[in-house]
Amino acid sequence: MSSAEPPIEAEATTIDTELATTSALDQLVANITTEAARLAKDHKPHDIVSEEDYQQSKRDRAKARKDIASLKGRYDESMRTIKEALSEADARVKSALDPLTKIDDGYKEKVDEYEASWRSKRAARLSQAYCDFAPDLVPLVPFDRLMARFGTEKGKQWDARSLSDKQAEAAMCQAVERIAADERTIESSPYDEQDKAALKADYFQTLDLSGALRRTQEAKEQRERVARLEQERREREAEARRMAEQAAAAQAAIPTEPEPKPEPKPEPKPLIDTRTQMTAEEYRAELAAVGGQQPITSHQRLVREVVGAQTVLVALYSMTGEQMRRLAGTLSAQGIHGKPKGTGMLLSETQCADLLAFANTRAQGYDAPRARKEP
pTM tops 0.85, yes or no? no
Q: Which pLDDT does position 266 carry in this prediction?
A: 65
Tens-digit pLDDT profile for residues 308-331:
434 444 444 455 666 667 766 666
Q: Identify which of 207, 108, 125, 137 has the alpha carbon closest to the alpha carbon of residue 163.
A: 125
**Position 176: which residue type?**
V
Tens-digit pLDDT profile for residues 45-81:
989 999 998 999 999 999 999 999 999 998 888 888 8
User: How many CA atoms within 13 Å lie on the side-chain side of 125?
Assistant: 15
85 or 351, which is more confident? 85
Burial category of 163 from C-beta neighbours within 10 Å (exposed 0-12, middle 13-18, buried 19 and up): middle
Alpha-carbon span 157 to 172, nearest angstrom? 10
